[in-house]
A and B are shown apart, each in its own frame.
Chain A
């Protein structure tokens, strides 16, 4: 859509952003010479979960909040579960409950990563960014690259079946209880899982190779496209290894040095704060220490697969560790900041999940009935977990009647809000500025956002629906996101 603003600038809106989960919109403002004056990503939906779950009994939380998102319901289910474990004073789950939760989470990450790479992003990578719109989708991939598409569909199916085996349903199942889990693994689905897992590990390995090849096919594009340097945040285990379910927070600076390590989860508000802007329902979190030192819009950071692979010192499964070392050697200098490297990192994680599932499926604890631990009731709980798209925070306070009195949710995509806006600005400056605007070039802006695998469903949890909108507005617009700024994240 195209029209004129009051200031006489050309406004271009890309709406809705497609092949992402949820609703977003990008706006550009161009002057007479076609120079980009503003580029913004807007989230246009708002649901208000934080408000309407007040007053609900806390043990309903895992079921309520997973409805934030149909793509990663398990992440919200488990983040809430970790918080309500604490409310029940449970510090240590039974071995069976812990393994079931980890298995559930690996299934979630595997299916979500496969969905993103194969169903949503691969058409850009396989056909090209400016290819025919009618085939630039998973159906087109099924026709032209049936082997790749079918493997993607089956990897996702396997992840979904892992979720069904633990929670009874592929989407919005029921698994976690305060202090544990409600049932052992489903034996019928287990037969399918054990029969398929070796193949899934093999295909996941192929997927890493494919992502690697597609990234390196055009190294100039790979290294320059919408590239931006930033700090990274993720959980790591006590030794600094890759960890999705437990662990503490680590933040690395853009130069690879460590800013915070083993930062206690309960003190997360000392690490980050959030601010709002008038043009997006999605908030903008930032690192407090950097903002206090540098002011302005400084302190933004990234989360997700790239952050986790950059942050961790090792991966516990052999194949994924091999590919992590390979990735860091080729893309890391010392960290990998490339926008498209998200895809590569995402597939390394998918492989790690497949390997981890392979290992845990041999564990008889999955059928144990020792599933719930008990403790002394507390008044608050903070559950932090690595969702497919990055670090996810659920923080609740409850009263003596078991009602929720405060909820603070920072969903993964929110942490990448600044970064995605930066990526849009960077891509617009690189490819649109001064050029004739074509649909192919506009798709490049979506490609820059798509790398982050943004989940705008999650991001719009605030009350309904938040659209994501990248906007380049004129100099009279509020809170101008100037495209003339450098790619180091200095917002003017």
Chain B
């Protein structure tokens, strides 16, 4: 790996955090990565607002208005933006709700659902409004790379970061290009 440090931001939109877990699955390689990478906004740091970064890793699709806001913020600040995992690339499992009206979904969960004593649908201004359809990232902004898998395996993350440090195109081995 090269000597300079790159700045990396990560976030999860409408995802399950499995991609972040897979990033941590590089295990002890984290010690080596730390020497070359400075983490900016990420669920593993306490930095709440993104600043200019070399690499942005985003898992999860666009489920609500806050997701849209965060994605735009990442695009503005990241030289290279990567859609990580099935949800960011094509909506993933959360997009299974796209065939159903959002209000029906909310009704089922909060009003007609099982063993409930209230019929309140959360609507406070502090809670972001849901999108009608769950969307993948590239429908809203330019995405530079797509890292496939549910989740992408740890070696794929390592190769992506290494390639960026070495200033070359990433080349993910066939066994680590996952589509499950």
**Which residues of A pack against B, CB within 8 Å?**
13-16, 18-23, 25, 27, 40, 42, 44-48, 50-53, 64, 67-71, 73, 115, 119-120, 133-134, 136-139, 142-143, 146, 150, 153-154, 156-157, 160, 170-172, 269, 272-281, 283, 395, 406, 408, 443, 446, 457, 462-465, 467, 469, 471, 478
Contact = CB atoms under 8 A, between A and B. Distances in A.
A67 B13 CA distance: 14
Interface stretch (B73-81, B99-107, B140-148): B99-107
Contact of A51 (B17, B66, B93, B105): B105
Contact of A153 (B30, B102, B154): B30
A137 B44 CA distance: 6
Contacts, number: 228
A21 B116 contact: no
B92 interface: yes
Contact of A465 (B14, B44, B96, B124): B14
B97 A464 contact: yes
Contacts of B46: 18-19, 133, 136-137, 443, 446
Interface of B: 12-22, 24-25, 27-28, 30-31, 34, 39, 42-48, 60, 63-64, 66-67, 92-94, 96-97, 99-100, 102, 104-106, 108-110, 113-124, 126-128, 130, 134, 150-151, 154, 180
B94 A47 contact: yes
A12 to B, nearest CB: 12
A154 B120 CA distance: 45
Given A276-B121, A408-B113, A18 B48 contact: yes
A25 B126 contact: yes
Contacts of A138: 30, 44
B12 A47 contact: no
A276 B105 contact: no
B47 A133 contact: yes
Given A15-B48, A19-B44, A42 B127 contact: yes
Contact of B117 (A20, A48, A273, A478): A273
Closest 5 A-B residue pairs measured CB to CB? A70-B18, A464-B63, A279-B124, A408-B114, A48-B105
